Amino acid sequence: MRGIIGRIIDTATGVHMAQVKIYGRRAHLAEAREAMSDAIHGCAVAVLGLPQEKRFHRFIGLDPEDFVHPADRSERYTVIEVSMFEGRTTDTRKRLIRELFTQLETRCGLSPQDVEITIFETPRHNWGIRGRCGDELELSYDVSR
């Protein structure tokens, strides 16, 4: 299966793209960044067919006073936001979420209780990539699965 997380290929320029933001406490993200990035990207590659060499992750570390959450979450509480084109099936999105929970726990020791994942779907015409609108790019994958 190819491309749920907004994998974009412009046949003229070879652009591949995935946009993932990871929010958490600064200290936790600093110690877990590499393992988390590997787990997240592994899910994108395995579930979505994203190219191994194309990884676009932004880690946003916050001070404790700037990252307020309920008491039933630990200091490792993490929020993951995935931006992608609209059109993927519910099944595809759920498989991605489930695999992220599994891999973050297995590879990073991050309890599902401490992880929240949100997928944001955006119309292609609302994306700008390398000077072009997303709906003007020729894609090598199907975003309707």
Q: Return the ∠ at Cα 90 (arms to 85 and 95), rounded to 5°.
A: 95
Regarding pTM above 0.75, the answer is yes
* CATH topology (fold) of 19-136: Macrophage Migration Inhibitory Factor (3.30.429)
Taking the domains of the chain in order of start, what are their residue ranges? 19-136
Return d(Cα 11, Cα 141) in angstroms, integer. Answer: 11
pLDDT tens-place string over residues 10-51: 333 333 456 899 999 999 999 999 999 999 999 988 877 777
pLDDT tens-place string over residues 48-61: 777 788 889 999 99
In this predicted model, which residue has the larger pLDDT, 91 or 31?
A: 31
Exposure of 133 in the CB half-sphere (CA atoms within 13 A): 7
Token pair recorded at residue 79 = 């929020």
